[in-house]
Amino acid sequence: MDNNKIINSASIIGKGMIILCLLFFLFFLVMVAYWHFDKSAFDLVNVSRAFEAGFGSNGIQFYLNENQKPSNAIILSEISPIMVYWLLLRTSLFVFLSIKMIQSALRIISSMQSLQTFYLGNIKHLRSIGLFAFFSFLLSIFNFYYSQGGFNFHFKTAFAPLILAIASYVLAEVFREGAKLVEEKNLII
């Protein structure tokens, strides 16, 4: 393929996204590790949204002073270690699935750059994107928070990963047809 700006931009954005995912995960890991040593350092960190269902960690809010903190907020320094580990596990899974999806997309982009768009490997990559997106959908449906008061379950249907999964599987079939056409074209001498 000629020097295609969209493909080149997608490749750069994809690589940037992997770096951002890894940086976010590293930040989260350091935060959890530090939490073990000094819980009071997280007195102004609200993780209420992180215990809601949906794709990813939904965001963590940092307050500058006590007045900004809502009364019903779940504060990182007050939650049990099990919930911190659940938060870490859930975030790790989302980061892992996101990186795997981006990696597969980057492999497809690199094959397009080397003029091998419709080859069988890309069908496999698209199917793996579909599978990871489906796992993301399943993971994003449910979340929970446990405190001494009992369990709080939260359910939400995140359609974005499901649509991505379906679109990837459909694209995989389009690429299968494309691979067949390329094979036939190569057999015309």
Q: Which residues bind another protein (CB under 8 A)?
A: 184, 187-189
In 3D, which of 136, 138, 112 has the Cα closest to residue 11? 112
| Nearer Cβ to another protein (113/116) | 116
Rounded distance between C-alpha atoms, residue 78 and residue 73, angstroms: 10
In 3D, which of 55, 53, 54 has the Cα closest to residue 153? 53
How far apart are CB 182 and another protein at their closest, in Å? 12
| Nearer Cβ to another protein (56/178) | 178
How far apart are CB 184 and another protein at their closest, in Å? 5
How far apart are CB 189 and another protein at their closest, in Å? 5
Rounded distance between C-alpha atoms, residue 73 and residue 52, angstroms: 12
In 3D, which of 22, 90, 109, 93 has the Cα closest to residue 51? 90
Rounded distance between C-alpha atoms, residue 95 and residue 105, angstroms: 15
How far apart are CB 116 and another protein at their closest, in Å? 18
Residues 147 and 133: beta-carbon distance below 8 Å? no
| Nearer Cβ to another protein (66/184) | 184
How far apart are CB 187 and another protein at their closest, in Å? 4
Tell me the three state secondary structure of residue 155: strand
| Nearer Cβ to another protein (154/180) | 180
| Nearer Cβ to another protein (43/183) | 183
